[in-house]
Each structure stands twice: as C-alpha cells, then as structure tokens.
Amino acid sequence: MRRGVLLAAVLLLAACGGPDHKSPPAFVDGAKGIGDSYLPTAGNGGYDVAGYDLALKYDPASGQLDGTATITATATENLKRFDFDLAHLSVRSVTVDGAPATSAVDSDELVVTPSKGIRRGAKMTVVVAYGGKPQQLRDPDIGAGGWLRTPDGAIALGQPQSASTWYPVNDHPADKATFKLAMTVPDGLEVISNGVAGPRPSSGGWTTWNWSEASPMASYLSTVVIGHYRLESSAHDGKPMVIAVPDSLPADGPAATSVNRTGEIADFLAGQFGPYPFDAYGAIVVDDSRIGYALETQTRPAYASSFFKDGPDPTVVAHELAHQWFGDSVALERWRDIWLNEGFATYAEWLWTEHSGGATVAESFDDAYNGFHWGDPPGDPGIARLFGDAVYQRGGMTVYALREAMGDQAFGTLLTTWTSTHRDGNGTTAEMESLASRLAGKNLDALFQAWLFGKTKPAHP
C-alpha cells in the first residue's frame, strides 16, 4: 500500500472510533402477533414476560375496573416499540423502567414506545395504569371469552383468549408467566382467582383479596370471579384447596358434590401422570346461563353449573383436572396442537370411568371408534373446529392407540416423562411423537399420521 493511502486509512479508522468501534444496534418494533397462524394477532413479539402483578379495584354497581399492571419481561430483540394485547379499556399512563413512555391504544393493542430503546436481553419493568368497563372478545369462529359483568360482580373466563379484556398481556400460551392479583371489591363479596390466597385487608367498606400463582401460566388460564360464593378452604396433600360454589346453588347439591371430589380425583390422576404440578388445588362453579362450558383455569378449574343439572358428574372434574398436567403445566406452543390438551383429558375421563366401576377404557374407546365421523383430523383442525368433536374424541382415541402400540409400561413412562420434562413449559405434537418413538423403540410416524391427520378410519388397534 502506498504511504498516502495508508495515512488516509489511519485517519478514517480514528474518525470511526478505532478498530474496536461497533455500530449502534438497530432497534425494531415488536411484532403485533406471536406467530400463530390460527390467531395471527394473538400475543406479541419482541419480549418474554416473567410475571404479571395486578392491583385492581372493581365496582359492581357501575361495572368500572381501575388499577395498575406491573409487568416484568425480558427483551428478545432490540426494541424501540412493543405491544400488549388490551381490549376495550383505556390507558392513563405507562412507564418503562420508571421512565414515562408514550402509549396508544390501537384496536385491541396497547402500543408502548419507551423513552429509549430496550436492548436485547435486557430486563424491563412496565407499569400500566388503566381502567374502564371491561367487555368480552367475540370471534365468529371461536365464540366469546373474557369479562362478563354479573348482578353482584363479574366472571373473567374464556379460551383461547380472555385475559386481554381485563389486563394488558402477551395473550398466547407460548409466553407463560407468573401471576399475582390484588382485587379490591366492596365488603361482603368474595374474589376467587388462581393459586394461593393471601391476606384480605379491609378499609372504608372495601376488601382487597390477594392471590398468587408461582408456576408459569398461560394467560387464558388466568381467571377472577367476583360475587357471593361459599368458600370451602382446606388442605390436601399439604397444599391449600379452595372450593367455591355460588350461594345460588345448594351446599349439598350435585355441583358441590362433584367438585368436592377434586382431591380424590387429582390423587388418582397423579398415579397416572406423575406428581400434581402446582401449589394449590380447587374448583369454581359459576351459575350463569351465558357460560356453558368448563375450563381448566390453572389450579382452580371453573365449571358451568349446567354440567350438574342432571346430577353429580365427576367425569368433567376428571377432565379439567387432567388439564392441570396436559394443557396447564405443559401448555401448547401453537393452537393447532390442541389435541395434546383435549385428547389426554378425554383419555383421563375414560380412566376415571373405569376406576369408578363403569366402562373400561377399551370399551370407551370402542364406543367412540364405532360411532365417529372421520373426515375431520384433529392434528390441525383449523380455527373453526378448534373445539370440535375430533379434537376431543379422536384426540382421546389417538392416546389409546398410542398406548396399544407402545405397551402399558412404555406408555406409562411416556406420560410421566412428558409431564416432568416439559413441566412449566410448552410442548408440540412433533415432540410428543419423538418421545413416544424413542420410548417405544420404533418409529410411530405412521400411527400419528393415521390418527391425527388422516381422513379415513384407521385400523382398530
């Protein structure tokens, strides 16, 4: 290199800060969706939530909800802007790491622009002050979910989305987080939520109920129920158990009789699936004609009273408790794999029926197998059939076919290995197939393809 050229190069290096100079990182907007093809706008990209801490006040007389959400998270990209899911509520202020941030509500998204970019890997604390009169989310394919105002309180419940109707959230199971709730309501009302109950201070005619769930939870599994309920608090296996039945139902009626078997049924399922995965047990019965389903809300499943109109029904309790392992502790990564939730919960119903002296698991399988329409595969059901019969019944038949192909010993190992390996995390169909094939000592791809994705009747196992 000639001397003049060398001198020019040295001067250029000096101007750029020397050979170790690094360009400033590029900051981007977090995605307005987590990447699930079934629900493209659900969840958000750019960060991973560690925990939600809600301090809220609800007035049943007006339907007004107000408070703050403190959200701790880690940036997974260099962020100049990011979103939370938040529906039908207004935001008063947002801070990021104590500094005021710019915010705007765009449809069902809360868009947050911090005062400076958040570097990838950095932990951040976002505090959102918000309020309004919560409503439900409504989708023509999946129905309604979220906040329901009741004459004496409210019920927040729904799948696959509901949390965004009452707090800012990354509303998708792929981003699980711990959960704390301090809900202040008029004296005389009960508040039931997830996890372990804390102190209940009262002042000036208002009581604050504290609940906390220390295990990571998918957001649709969070719930709060406010109203007049009888709370039965006890301990089971050294952990608190809270059973909530509304005052509108008899204390010794079929609903209470059914959910009071929670501890017994959970113990039976623990013998099949491995240790119960959470720090609390319980159940909530809701007596509202707008809710006709049961949901596996974490640690404390919710049951519509209509399940018990013809008498006690412990099989629905077995179904929702099975979800504490399959769906809650091990959550979905994407909604297309919902059979992993509902198939194993249906299989648990068959197990409980056999255990209770009813039809054997094989007989329950045959009953489903002989009367089923095989045109709808459950392995990728589509959003319109997310809760269709194929997901439940054909999902359950897939579990039974897997048991028959593996043998009882290897299948039992599959159940406990799956729930321990993926505990507090997420799982996929591909991971289930890989584990089952390894434990069976043979490739099970043909079985999974036939039972989950084929449109013709598989051979009886």
pLDDT score of 70 more than 70: yes
Nearest Cα to Cα of residue 282 among 243, 252, 320: 243
Most distant pair of Cα atoms in the chain: their distance: 98
Report pLDDT for 21: 53
- pTM higher than 0.85 for the full model? yes
Per-residue model confidence (pLDDT) at position 142: 79
91-121 tens-digit pLDDT:
999 999 999 999 999 889 999 999 999 999 9
CA geometry: angle 391, 258, 415, nearest 5 deg: 45
Q: How far apart are the first and last CA of the chain?
A: 77
Instruction: Write the pLDDT tens digit of every residue in 355-382.
Output: 999 999 999 999 999 989 899 999 999 9
Chain region(s) in the chain for CATH 1.10.390.10: 332-453
CA dihedral 186, 191, 197, 202 (to 10 degrees): 0
Higher pLDDT, 141 or 183: 183
In this prediction, residue 67 has a pLDDT band, given cuts at 50, 70 and 90, of very high
30: tokens are 């977090």
The one-character DSSP state at 391 is: I
What is the CATH number that goes with domain 332-453?
1.10.390.10
pLDDT at residue 144 in the model: 85
pLDDT greater than 80 at residue 298:
yes
Q: So what's the pLDDT on residue 22? A: 63
Mean pLDDT of 132-147: 89
CATH of domain 228-324: 3.30.2010.30
At residue 139, the pLDDT reads 82
Q: What is the pLDDT of residue 138?
A: 87
Which of 18-32, 133-147, 179-193, 248-262 has the weakest average pLDDT? 18-32
Which secondary structure element, helix H or strand E, spans residue 362, and what is its range? Answer: helix 361-370
pLDDT-derived band of residue 6, with 50, 70 and 90 as boundaries?
very low
Instruction: List pLDDT tens digits, range 73-99.
Output: 999 999 999 999 999 999 999 999 999
- Summarize pLDDT for 36-64 with one digit per residue, the tens: 999 999 999 999 999 999 999 999 999 99
User: What does the pLDDT read at residue 106?
Assistant: 86
Q: What is the pLDDT of residues 216-271, one digit of tens each?
A: 999 999 999 999 999 999 999 999 999 999 999 999 999 999 999 999 999 999 99
Record the tokens describing residue 414, joined without a space. Answer: 């599959």
Residues of the chain with CATH 2.60.40.1730: 36-227
Q: pLDDT tens digits for 396-440?
A: 999 999 999 999 999 999 999 999 999 999 999 999 999 999 999
| Residue range(s) of every CATH 3.30.2010.30 domain in the chain | 228-324
Vertex 150: Cα angle to 148 and 152 (nearest 5):
140
Average pLDDT over residues 317-344: 98
Q: Look at residue 209 in the predicted model and tell me its pLDDT.
A: 98
Average pLDDT, the chain: 94
CATH of domain 36-227: 2.60.40.1730
CB 432 within 8 A of CB 340: yes
Q: How confident is the model at residue 2 (pLDDT cuts 50, 70, 90)?
A: very low
